[in-house]
Structure 1
């Protein structure tokens, strides 16, 4: 599998993990002119914007370390665009990172809740 295939498989594993944890998946790969959000979910009335980082090894560091300040800002602005689009700008929300580790055909998820934002 190439890196795009690994990324897509990681997003699918992350979405399945979230569903098993009681989240409703509202949208995957949401795109606006400002950027992309991998998964938009909702649980207990809170919108959850999830950045998924999939890795086969830790040679380049932990997956969460790839979500730096600039990437966070892009996700926050894209999330605001989504909330405006659905007319829920005042709704509670948070920003999570889902680390997905791949070993062969096995996926292991590490869900980091409220990873960044206000």
Structure 2
């Protein structure tokens, strides 16, 4: 349960961080049939799908490494479900990763392109 609470706290910190950068929150913890997306934000006209990794210690950079190709595929499937639900199939999108650690917040914009099927 502690890990879940840490994850929720990290998502809240990440959301506040992105709101301060001028983004708008569209949805939190979106679940598609094959995956989940922590935050879905709007950055101008770009829909941003955000994976948040909370790290209790300061292993900087480890959050991005935890977003494996399998996780990227699941996020891409969930992103497609979100876009289809809203009938937004022709909007620009990107996938970001936010790592929260004792060192602070690290935002990796355009962290990955979804793997080809």
TM-score relative to the length of structure 2: 0.90
CA offsets per residue over residues 19-68 of structure 1, 9 Å max, x none?
00000011000012111100000011000000000001256x71111001
* Structure 1: distance between partners of 2:112 and 2:57: 24
Contact persistence 1:39–1:50 (CA under 8 A): yes
Q: Gapped runs of 5+ residues in structure 2?
A: none
Secondary structure of the residue that 1:39 maps to in structure 2?
Answer: strand
Q: Gapped runs of 5+ residues in structure 1?
A: none
Runs ≥4 residues deviating over 3 A: none
- Report what 1:44 is aligned to: 44
- Report what 2:27 is aligned to: 27
More strand by share: 1
- Report what 1:86 is aligned to: 86
TM-score relative to the length of structure 1: 0.90
Q: Is 1:13 matched up with 2:9?
A: no
* Structure 1: distance between partners of 2:16 and 2:4: 18
